[in-house]
Structure 1
Amino acid sequence: MKYLLIQLILWTGVLFSSCTDYLNIVPKGEKIPTTLADFEALLRDEYTIGQTPVANALYLLNDRYLTVSNLNTPTLATANYMWDEQADRIILNNSSENTYYYLYMAIANCNLIIEHAPTATECTDQERAEVIAYAKVIRSVCYFTLVNFYADTYDKETASQTRGIPLITSANINAPHEQVSVQELYDFTINDIKEAISAGLPEKSMTVIHPNLGAAYAMLARIYLQMSDFEHALQYADKALEQNDRLFDWNAYYDQYKERIEDPDNYDNLPTPTDYTYIENYYFRCGDNSPNYSSSELAIPVERANRFEQGDARFLSRWKYRSVNQDTYYDGIGSGYFNWGGLTTCEVYLIKAECLARQAVNNDFSEAMQTLDAVRITRIRPEFYQPSAASTLQEAIRLIRRTKDNELIFSIVPFADARRFNREGEFVQPLSKTYQGKTYTLSPQSPMWTMPFPAGAINNPGNGTIEQNVSK
């Protein structure tokens, strides 16, 4: 199936970027897409359209453990992990950088569907519109990650003048493209999703790897939150929760595997519930793990583990302290498929909680805390659980952010949120750690919060130009 899909993509690119004579020349053993099923098949190949690797954002946050032996080698990962502002990350990023290539590969597939599925055969108009709507939401998910990785964070006052990322909307490999502003990119993603909703994006999608109506609302809530447009973020969070408001009971999961979890010498993998059937899913999308096979939970540093709330059943069920030779860390004990790049009800609850806190009157944060606790009560062990309380906005944001950073670890969201809070200045949480007796810090103003484009993109920009958004 993968071979067929790759050939389909290649020959479709030839078809639509060359002369019409190719319409009459179908290579032996190959297939040119004509039916809607041909185009929809592209959405099912998760390797080419369903990955969201953001490893260097995870390393910068120190959310993902990097071994001592790896730290002895000067790489892009090492520079980010050790917050080395003297390192030239542009030079270090001289090889394939998965965030850029995987996401633009997904965008290329979406462009192919959006541009050519309108003439697909063997379908109704509504079926055709549905597949195109899926592609528009997926394209927006990809662009949101890219702009929050390679460009400076959104600032209403400067976004229209801030250089963003290449905006590519054509499936033609020779089509011109432009590196648009951050504002233009955000406007584009919002419009894409709203068009998908208007086209009749279904409440129940074909599969969980096809984003449903709840996913579209959740993505709009995420985008508007990143823009600090709390009114619209709350509006779409509520719409998403109307579609699905279920939360997984991690306390029940802990009880089910309690004996293995509490055995300090048992590192046998537990089946992760955060797979394709996770009840919190609006849309499933892989992160740094491959969709082609089951993988293990990523390891996290000890300092990162210490930022989880005491009694967090989700943490206790996913990681276990381990010391092997020169490495001490929390080893991932989960195994399976992980929705690190998609959209879930948990994220939407926490978006809603922050919006309610921002709009609270007379320092009454009770509704925001109740929304936060709807999540916490399914996570925190009963002997540790206490209802959340805040008397200031700073306290409310701190509590919400703690849960959100922990819940969405390994996704782009904690990185995007950190950049947003850094820009505001009021809710900054500077990062600090001690390594081999030396203290390291990452300031909110550090240029490292924006990642460099890979050398391949700069040197081979196609029919357009790309300028670096960082100096090194």
Structure 2
Amino acid sequence: MRKYSFYLILIMLVCSCKEDWLDIKSDISKIVPQTLADMRLLLNSATFNLNYTTLGEVAADNISLNAAQLAGGSAMERNAYVWEADIFAGSTVVTQWNSAYNQVFTANVVLEGLEKITDEITPGKQSEWNDLKGRALFYRARAHYDMLVMFTKPYAAVSAGNDPGIPLRLSSDIHAPVVRAGLQESYDQVISDLKSSLELLPTLPSHKTEPSKAGTEAMLARVYMAMGNYENALDYAEKALLRNSELIDYNTLTASTANPFAAYNAETIYFSRQATLGVIVNSGVDGALYASYTATDLRKALYFRSNMDGSYTFKASYAGSTLLFGGTASPEMYLIKAECLARKGETLPAMETLNTLLEKRYDDEDFVPLEAGGAEEALRTILAERRKELVFTGLRWQDLRRLNQDPRFAVTLVRSANNKEYRLEPGSNRYTFPIPDYIISSSGMAQNPR
């Protein structure tokens, strides 16, 4: 019963479907789609493009909440904002955990179904079979990576072999033991799934909500970046840019609109959204962050709107709405490429890459390409631009976890709330969220130290 209660959250999506083959029998593990159409129906579910982690945005240093905004948030949001030891406060439903493992479960159902019909696939159906398998592998990797960002220590090569990772679910068997893999094993599985999907997916998607080679290469660049593996991050960022190097000229946009950016725009490589948290929608922007945009930086007016109290709120999501973008896009790839080149000591190519992006972000008449006297200066400049460009895309929390391991870039976060000062030091255990209590009780896994 304890295992069943853990897996119950994984089958909610499946149980909500109406197809006959999804009629629930006494053994849920026997549910297997029978045709390619069945599998496509599962993988076309919007659940694969929704509910990616947002709590990192609450805990990072992009937002600023006044007393009323903080009080208006949920207990989970308030706890995350001040880095409490207990984030979920006994909640029996943590959407971002449940959603990720729903995706993993559904991907595994499809992968197992595909293997059962291998002999029946005609040459004319092989490309569709390949595409479905590639999608399922991509989705499984994407969901597992989301859990790594939230529920494990930041990756460090020297300790990853001994650090705990996440429960890796590689089958739909609800009776399989629920145990945490090692951190290195967890990252290796994500990379393996992504590389396997790369061989199967089309070069570009028919719609940007679908995985493709370009989207997979962008995800590999992101994962390797989080690992501090800058050689491979550079390789995959360059590959992704060969497939989509489009940049929107911000001079062509209208800052006075509610959101100047359309969903599925030219820069988007793979479209997904972060989970909806009301406190983010209503939050103010950190004052120092807002001040870092100069007057000729078009992002300042395009990204933010002013409030009655003189604060500013983010408005420019590539999701095309007040919801936050959680996918991959070409600006991230330019910034990964630039940073990795700077780390290799290739100052001029690094700055040329950065300026290719910034030329589309500044007023045409005022843009002056940035220069750097050496690799160290280039790296600092690129990291500053990375924060400004990728604001509210879910990446700042990942960057803090990565960069805090380098004393040159480590920062202590400080905020005031409830008449008290809170601090988050570099290397703190609170950069790793606790596993929800109901998962601990149903599985017997050890809790993350906080």
Q: Same fold (TM over 0.5)?
A: yes
Deviates more, 1:349-358 or 1:35-44: 35-44
TM-score (norm 2): 0.85
> What is the CA-CA distance between 1:371 and the residue it aligns to?
0.7
Query: Do the aligned partners of residues 436 and 456 (structure 1) sit closer, same or farther apart at CA in structure 2, a change above 3 Å counting?
Result: closer
Partner of 1:283: 270
Query: Do the aligned partners of residues 105 and 315 (structure 1) sit closer, same or farther apart at CA in structure 2, a change above 3 Å counting?
Result: farther
Determine if contact 2:324/2:392 at 8 Å carries over to the other structure.
no
> What is the CA-CA distance between 1:212 and the residue it aligns to?
0.8
Determine if contact 2:221/2:237 at 8 Å carries over to the other structure.
yes
Determine if contact 1:168/1:178 at 8 Å carries over to the other structure.
no
Partner of 2:327: 342
> What is the CA-CA distance between 1:314 and the residue it aligns to?
2.8
CA distance in 1: counterparts of 2:376 and 2:305, whole angstroms: 31
> What is the CA-CA distance between 1:40 and the residue it aligns to?
1.1
2:398 alignment partner AA: A
Partner of 1:377: 359
CA distance in 2: counterparts of 1:127 and 1:71, whole angstroms: 48
Partner of 2:437: 455
Of residues 393, 400, 404, the one that matches 2:382 is 400
2:434 alignment partner AA: P
1:280 alignment partner AA: E
Q: Matched residue of 1:351: which SS?
A: helix
CA distance in 2: counterparts of 1:378 and 1:437, whole angstroms: 42
Question: Aligned ranges for residues 351-390 of structure 1 at < 5 Å?
Answer: 351-360=336-345, 364-390=346-372
Query: Do the aligned partners of residues 227 and 62 (structure 1) sit closer, same or farther apart at CA in structure 2, a change above 3 Å counting?
Result: closer
Of residues 6, 18, 36, the one that matches 2:16 is 6
1:100 alignment partner AA: W
Partner of 1:183: 184
Determine if contact 1:17/1:173 at 8 Å carries over to the other structure.
no
Determine if contact 1:431/1:443 at 8 Å carries over to the other structure.
yes
Q: Matched residue of 1:444: which SS?
A: coil
CA distance in 2: counterparts of 1:173 and 1:402, whole angstroms: 45
2:156 alignment partner AA: D
Q: Deviations over 1:80-138 (max 9, x none)?
A: 3234xxx4315625342222111111111111111212335787122111111011112
Question: Aligned ranges for residues 109-128 of structure 1 at < 5 Å?
Answer: 109-120=106-117, 124-128=125-129
Aligned length: 429
Question: Aligned ranges for residues 8-407 of structure 1 at < 5 Å?
Answer: 12=22, 14=24, 17=27, 33-46=33-46, 48-72=47-71, 75-83=75-83, 87-89=84-86, 92=89, 94-120=91-117, 124-198=125-199, 200-253=200-253, 257-258=254-255, 261=256, 269-273=258-262, 275-276=263-264, 278-289=265-276, 299-324=284-309, 329-334=311-316, 336-337=320-321, 340-360=325-345, 364-407=346-389
Q: Matched residue of 2:180: which SS?
A: strand
Partner of 2:448: 469
CA distance in 2: counterparts of 1:188 and 1:57, whole angstroms: 23
Determine if contact 2:96/2:275 at 8 Å carries over to the other structure.
no
> What is the CA-CA distance between 1:388 and the residue it aligns to?
1.8
Q: Deviations over 1:309-364 (max 9, x none)?
A: 5433233113112135xxx531344583467221111111111111100111xxx5
2:300 alignment partner AA: F
Q: Matched residue of 1:270: which SS?
A: coil
* Identity in percent: 27
CA distance in 2: counterparts of 1:184 and 1:417, whole angstroms: 21
Query: Do the aligned partners of residues 314 and 11 (structure 1) sit closer, same or farther apart at CA in structure 2, a change above 3 Å counting?
Result: farther
Structure 1: unaligned runs, 5 residues or longer: 23-31, 262-267
TM-score (norm 1): 0.81
Query: Do the aligned partners of residues 412 and 17 (structure 1) sit closer, same or farther apart at CA in structure 2, a change above 3 Å counting?
Result: farther
CA distance in 1: counterparts of 2:261 and 2:283, whole angstroms: 12
Q: Matched residue of 1:168: which SS?
A: coil
Partner of 1:25: none
Q: Matched residue of 1:163: which SS?
A: coil
Query: Do the aligned partners of residues 300 and 97 (structure 1) sit closer, same or farther apart at CA in structure 2, a change above 3 Å counting?
Result: farther
CA distance in 2: counterparts of 1:179 and 1:3, whole angstroms: 23
Aligned Cα root-mean-square deviation (Å): 3.1
Confirm or deny that 1:417 pairs with 2:399: yes
> What is the CA-CA distance between 1:34 and the residue it aligns to?
1.9
Query: Do the aligned partners of residues 318 and 5 (structure 1) sit closer, same or farther apart at CA in structure 2, a change above 3 Å counting?
Result: farther
1:174 alignment partner AA: H
CA distance in 2: counterparts of 1:130 and 1:185, whole angstroms: 24
Structure 2: unaligned runs, 5 residues or longer: 1-11
Partner of 2:8: none
1:279 alignment partner AA: A
Query: Do the aligned partners of residues 395 and 92 (structure 1) sit closer, same or farther apart at CA in structure 2, a change above 3 Å counting?
Result: farther
CA distance in 1: counterparts of 2:404 and 2:19, whole angstroms: 41
CA distance in 2: counterparts of 1:71 and 1:143, whole angstroms: 30
CA distance in 1: counterparts of 2:324 and 2:55, whole angstroms: 18
Q: Matched residue of 2:192: which SS?
A: helix
CA distance in 2: counterparts of 1:423 and 1:18, whole angstroms: 44
Q: Matched residue of 2:137: which SS?
A: helix
CA distance in 1: counterparts of 2:293 and 2:422, whole angstroms: 21
> What is the CA-CA distance between 1:208 and the residue it aligns to?
1.4
> What is the CA-CA distance between 1:300 and the residue it aligns to?
2.9
